Each structure stands twice: as C-alpha cells, then as structure tokens.
Amino acid sequence: MDSRRRVSPSLVVVALAVGLAGCAAQISGAEGEHGAPSTATTPSATPTAPPATPSAPSTPPASPSEPPTAPPAAPMTTVRADLCGNGSDDDADGEVDEGCGCTVGTQQSCYLGPPGTHGVGPCRSGLQDCVPNGEFPSWGACTGSVLPHVEIIENGIDDDCDGTSDEADGICISDGLGQEMGARCHDGRDSDCDGLRDCDDPSCLLDTAAACPGGCQPTETTCTGGTDDDCDGAIDCDDAECVGDAACAPPPPTCTPDGRGAETGARCHDADDNDCNGLRNCDDPSCLADPAAACPGGCQPVESCSNGGDDDCDGLADCADPSCGSDAACRPPLCPGGGSPVFRRRPPMTEAAGSYIAPGDNGPMMPMTCEPAPPIACDRTSVAVETAPGSFACVAPPGDCPAGTSPEWVGSAWACSPPCELFIHYGAIFGFATVCAPRPSITCGFGLAPTFVYETSTWECRPMCDNGLYDIHYVDGGVVCIPC
C-alpha cells in the first residue's frame, strides 16, 4: 500500500463518536458485534458527600499563623445531552434526538457527522421518521445522510468534509489498470499510485502510445535521421513503417509482364506494374475492383455496417449484408420500448453502524435502464455508461455474458461480473459505506485470510486482519476480513 495513505483527523473524530464501532469493538471483546450504545448520566442536583475514608493523622502546621492546607477539589465532569429538535447527534452516541417526543408520521432532517462537517463537500443530512414506541412515540434511525470518510486524493471530492479536497495526507487509489500508459499519461493523475504522474513516470516514457516528450514515439518519425524513434529496434529504412517513404523507395524496375493478367490481390501491393499497363498497384482499376486487394476507395474485404455503402461490392449495404449480423449497429435495440440504454453504478448507501456482512440482492453490479432523458446523448451504436460517480461516457454496447454474470464497466472496458451476492458494510474509519461484492472464491495459506480490500473492492489473501483497519467476520463458515 502506498506510504501516503493516512486517516484524516476528522474521521478519527467520527470513529470515536460512534463509540469505537469498528476495530476497537472487535479487539476489546465488547458486547455484540458493533458494541453497546453509550449512555450519559446527568449528575444529581444535590451533591452527595463523599464517603468517609480512613487516613493518617494530618500533620500540624509549621507555625500557629500558617493555616492548614485545603484538600484538592474533586474533578468536574461535563455531560453532553441531545438537544431536542436540532436534528444533530449532540451527545455523539450515534443517535439523533433520542428520548425526544414527536408525532407519529412526521419526519425531520438529521445528521450524524461531527460538528462543522454538515453541508461541507458531499456531506448532507438524512431523514428520520417518528415511529410508535409503546406509550411515547420516538424518532427512528437517521437514514440517507452522507458522512465524512477517508480523504481520497485526486478525485476532486472533499471526502472528509473539511472544506478542502485532495489533501496530501489522503490515500491514493489506483485505477486498477497497472502502470500508466497511453492516454492515462496525460490525465493529470498518478493512476498507478507510484508517486509519479503522467510523463514523469518511466512507464509513460517507454510507451510509444503515450508520445511523451523525450520518450518513445508512436511511429518512426523520420526515415533518414539515423535514430530508432519508436524504440522497436529498427532504424530508418529498416523499419517497416518507412516502406513507401521516398527516401527508402527502390529504383523503378523495368516493366516485364508477369504473365498472370490484370493486377489483383496481393500483387496490388508489391510496387510492380505487373500487367505493364502503366498503372501500378491501387492506381490500377483492376485492383480497385478486387475486394481482396483492399485498396483505399476500392472494394474492401469486409462490409462497414453503418456508412450507407456497399464496401465489399457484393450488392448488399450495411445491415443487409450477412457479415454485419453481429455488428453493434445491426443488433436488436437494447430498449425496444423506447428510451436510451444507460448503465449506472449502484448508488452508495450509508448507515451509522459498525462493520457487517449481509446477504446481497443477487442483482447486476451495474443495472441498465431505458431513460427518455439520458445523462449524455449517444448515437444508436453506443450506450451511456457511468465511468465514475456522476460521470458518463458513450461506449460500444457490451457483448453477451455467460449465465450467472452481467456486464460491468471496469476501468476502461466491459467485463462480465458475478451478481451482488453480499452487502459489505464498512465501519466508521471507512465512512459507513455499503458496497456489493461477490462471495470470496480464493483459498489462502496459513496465517492469511480473504480480505475485501477497500482500495480495489476485490478479495485478496492478506495477513489475518492484523493492521488495525479490518474487522474479522465469517462467510460460509470461514474467516474473512472487511474494512472497519
């Protein structure tokens, strides 16, 4: 894990405010999985005299004029209580307005986070209902609020709701795609969390697709410079990309017909005027008419399924050509009843409770809906997908997935993911978030346990919950570790 990963002070306050509802409850052996709720006791209005305690005889003063020394005052304890009607957890016990009267059926806004975080960044109130409770109705649980959690750098969000986003003491979460390469070398982010960003990262300098200044280039930029510009081991005219460059062209041959008639197929790309008609390769009409020659502007080997032309010269254009049967442009619409297909991530859920694991709903990890007003306009050959919370892009539709799986956009490509088999709820340190996960399918060696890693949302074999950030739970009779 990157050494810059730290837990912000505001989250420590949250962790303490919920009565150590994470790892501390597991280690201390407190009652219940999440620890018993704390209770505040108000001091009596009439102080009670302390009980008499035997003591040694007092030492007489040094002189008659020196008064005896008074005993030290007893320490005072300040007890906080919930203030009714303000929708806040004043006594930091994980409940709002407990013990306050209300009218059944009414609602009020509520907030469980520390003072000063409400309305800052994404932090916002939830709602609680007044419910029957014996003779006296009371306020129920506060749900739907967004609370501070560990600051994640470079996501542009004030995760810990302290008024500043992406602080240097936050944690870096890689995008899961390995070393920085290609377009990721120009996104302004340390995508692989190695402390080096974009073209300062050696993996970008070595990637020709990144085209970093001073690094490998996508192509051999010059065929006469004496350098290997694209780092493929071939210099200038020895590089296949220089074929056809004037500096590398062979002298024109003397024309001798090869005796095979009009130029077709591979002979349309051999640089010879094989039929000696004065026209070479794709300048010869016989090459343009041959699909096997694949000349620009001529008949092509395969049909392009959405340009309105008969590209392979077989008399069938676009989706009327059988070769387009599996093309996305010719597949049945995903929303036959109307609307545009949109693949959204499951919205985050929060609950002010210690870590736990519950059965999932077995629904897809990324459900698809048909929306009359999609968040982004895509053409008929693409679908809208939520690539990050609140961010959408138009991508090619997903292919068919095996039974028991469904499409999910992971990183920069479609994957076939298992359903939401488990709900994993994080404790206070990781912001009380609830996420979907498959059952662990890995087998770990001695001293290791399947661990649901916060940064990647995947199961990995790690030491048995020994770093103070993960709680021990059980799935199918086996020990697992989840963020606390």
Domain shared by 352 and 475, yes or no = no
CA proximity to 269, closest of 237, 304, 238, 301: 301
Higher pLDDT, 339 or 329: 339
Domain shared by 406 and 476, yes or no = no
3-state secondary structure of 205: helix
Judged by phi (left if over 0) then psi (alpha if -120 to 50, else beta), residue 162 lies in: alpha
Kindly state the helix (H) or strand (E) to which residue 286 belongs, with its residue range. helix 285-288
CA proximity to 389, closest of 436, 337, 346, 335: 346
Region 294-323: mean pLDDT is 73
Higher pLDDT, 115 or 239: 115
310 in a structural domain: no
pTM: 0.34
Provide the residue range defining the domain that includes 91.
1-28+83-173
Residue after which a domain boundary falls, among 152, 173, 194: 173
- Mean of all residue pLDDT scores within the chain: 75
Domain shared by 361 and 461, yes or no = no
Domain shared by 357 and 398, yes or no = yes
Domain shared by 452 and 374, yes or no = no
CA proximity to 198, closest of 214, 219, 222: 214
Q: What pLDDT does 59 receive?
A: 42
CA proximity to 388, closest of 199, 183, 176: 176
| Domain tally, the chain | 3
Domain shared by 412 and 443, yes or no = no
Domain shared by 403 and 372, yes or no = yes
254 in a structural domain: no
87 in a structural domain: yes
Domain shared by 10 and 144, yes or no = yes
| Token duo for residue 445 | 């060696």
CA proximity to 313, closest of 285, 287, 290, 282: 290
Residue after which a domain boundary falls, among 146, 173, 200: 173
3-state secondary structure of 36: coil
383 in a structural domain: yes
| pLDDT digits 0-9 by tens, 165-214 | 878 777 887 766 777 777 777 776 777 787 677 677 777 766 666 667 66
117 in a structural domain: yes
The percentage of the chain sitting over the pLDDT mark of 70, rounded to a whole number, equals: 77
Q: What is the spatial distance between Cα 350 and Cα 483, in angstroms, rounded to a whole number?
A: 14
Q: What is the spatial distance between Cα 272 and Cα 257, in angstroms, rounded to a whole number?
A: 9
120 in a structural domain: yes
Asked if 299 and 314 touch (Cβ cutoff 8 Å), the reply is no
220 pLDDT above the threshold of 80: no
- Amino acid identity at 370: C
Provide the pLDDT confidence category of residue 26 given band limits of 50, 70 and 90.
Answer: very low
What is the biggest distance separating any 2 CA atoms in the chain, rounded to whole angstroms? 139
| Contact residues for 463 (Cβ-Cβ < 8 A; gap 6+) | 447, 448, 449
453 pLDDT above the threshold of 60: yes
3-state secondary structure of 221: coil
Domain shared by 91 and 165, yes or no = yes
Region 352-367: mean pLDDT is 88
- Amino acid identity at 30: A
Kindly report which listed range (1-5, 158-162, 461-465) carries the lowest average pLDDT score: 1-5
CA proximity to 109, closest of 95, 123, 88, 92: 88
Q: What pLDDT does 328 receive?
A: 67
Residue after which a domain boundary falls, among 139, 173, 207: 173
Provide the pLDDT confidence category of residue 80 given band limits of 50, 70 and 90.
Answer: low
Provide the pLDDT confidence category of residue 69 given band limits of 50, 70 and 90.
Answer: low
